[in-house]
Amino acid sequence: MEFAASEDDKPPRGATVALHGLAKQAQHNGATGIVTDEINEKDGRLGVRIAYGEKARTLRVKPGNLRRVEACASFDERGVAPCRVLSPKLMKEIAASFREKRPWALPRAAETIVRAQLLREDATIEEGYVSVSNSDPPAWAASQEEIAKRAKQAQDAGLEAMATLRDELDGAACAKGLRFTHSFEHHARLLYEGRPREALALLVGVGDLGRRDSPASVCRCYRAEEPSDSEMALLAGCLEHVPRFLASLKGLPESFAVPLSYDAKETTHELRKELRITLAEEPGDARPIYLRLTYPALPDMPSLENVKRARIVVEKQLPAGSTVAPRFGSKTAYATVKDAERYHRIQSTQLTGRTRAGHELALALALASYRREPEHREAMALCRRAVHGARGADVGERAEELLEELCAATGDDAQTFLGEGLGVRPVGPRPPRNLERGAAERELERRTRAQRNLHLGA
């Protein structure tokens, strides 16, 4: 919220204000500062301390040239605290545009990490990694009556309950927004392991809750220090340009309805003047500042193949009570997704019945995590075999759910694929034809041993 101060409405000491309408010192228009002292009765002016980079100076300004700025809130282990932010009016305009573009509806947007840099004369001012936040807020947060009811209950319960409710409401408002971290590893952990309180640095939400008059009044900060001006400028620039950048990425493969990955891309945009003012090193510094967005976020993407990811993409996705995955401390326990693929491929060729269907499902989960077309289509065929091999069981139901997810990416119909296969041949040894029963069984066993020896390196 912003408003113009008048003689009867003077900002108190410590208030955050924005300067405007200065004629003799126009270079300071748009800058934000802190009121340092009360109004002087002789000249009718206030002291306002303005920071330019690491430098700071105090100006004597009339109340009519000030706009009061209401700060956002930050959240850390100490609770609720003031959070410095650029003009909320400007943030409201930018975030409203971000919300109208709905970037979280783009394919793979919620799991695509983009590198963002602020550059001035080829020098990096700020750098970080951003992605779109796409969570579902609780249903009660969309009802003003339910919010009012919970607020009344929290008031009756005390201050601690009120703080908890405010945290829940701000979390709901941040369900759709933009994430920012300084570390690619932290960002990857946030997306793949879901541990936001350890990995998340900043998040700007654009949720439109009934109790709020601005769609961008929420800025959550999961760390002790509050956001810097350069971080807030970077976030504002990303809110403005990331939706268009994500929409311009070319999906691979092109035949898929939902791409498995994207072609590399880099774009540069000039930061708007209102954001540039807060990063000026001295009054009147008009040097342009550019926002550079890059995908992939790193030239050489670090490998995500580790035991933790293997357990996340395979073990935790299996039906509850499933025993097809090896025990954590056993000799056959896999340390990477590749190990999981090798183990379950061998088991699915040796076993039969529903146990085999369970291993085929686990193998499909491992292959689906590769984000490559051959593995994706092989996982579809495995899911089809697992559905038919364990129909009516938990394994069959989970395989059908996974098949629907995989078919959503290709644009195919899952039920049609279950019935016809769309020409995709299942993996593994095919039973020989035109042989008597005993000979056919011996031939199948021979092929199974040959494939097992191949995987074991014999």
Residue 172 phi, psi (nearest 5): -65, -40
**Helix 337-350 with 353-368: angle, nearest 10 deg:** 150
Burial class of residue 116, CB neighbours in 10 A (0-12, 13-18, 19+): buried
Residue 82 has pLDDT above 50, yes or no: no
Q: What's the average model confidence in pLDDT over 129-138?
A: 84
For residues 48-73, average pLDDT: 73
What 3-state DSSP class applies to 138? Answer: coil
Alpha carbon separation from 375 to 294, 317, 318, 368 (Å, rounded): 27, 18, 19, 6
Which of 175-179, 211-215, 219-223 has maximum average pLDDT?
Answer: 175-179
Tens digit of each residue's pLDDT (9 = 90 or more) over 378-427:
999 999 999 988 888 899 999 999 999 999 999 888 888 887 654 444 44
CB 85 within 8 A of CB 229: no
- Tally of CB atoms within 10 A around 67: 19
- Domains in the chain, please, with CATH? 2-69 (2.30.30.30), 72-295 (no CATH), 307-427 (no CATH)
Identity of the amino acid at 323: T
Q: Supply the pLDDT for residue 209.
A: 44
Its pTM stands at: 0.68
Phi and psi at 448, nearest 5°, equal -65, -45
Kindly compute the dihedral angle of the four CA atoms of residues 142, 71, 31, 237, in this order, to the nearest 10 degrees: -40
Question: How far is Cα of residue 395 from the mean position of the Cα atoms in its chain?
Answer: 30
Query: Lowest mean pLDDT: which of 12-16, 114-118, 162-166, 450-454?
Result: 450-454
pLDDT recorded at residue 383: 93
Measured between alpha carbons, how far is 39 from 18 in angstroms, rounded to an integer?
16
**Residues 188-202, mean pLDDT to the nearest whole number:** 58
Q: Give the CA angle between residues 382, 385, 386 to the nearest 5°.
A: 85
Number of C-alpha atoms within 13 angstroms, CB side, residue 175?
14
Report the C-alpha gap between 292 and 169 in whole angstroms: 33
Distance CA 376, CA 367 (A): 6
Name the more confident of 307 and 111: 111
204, 216 Cβ separation under 8 angstroms = yes
Measured over the CA atoms of residue 406, residue 411, residue 415 and residue 416, the dihedral's sign is negative
- Does residue 410 contact residue 257 with C-beta atoms inside 8 Å? yes
The total number of residues shown for the chain amounts to: 458
pLDDT tens digits, 18-45: 777 787 877 777 677 788 877 777 778 8
User: Could you say which DSSP state residue 37 is in?
Assistant: S
Nearest-angstrom CA–CA distance, 310 and 366: 8
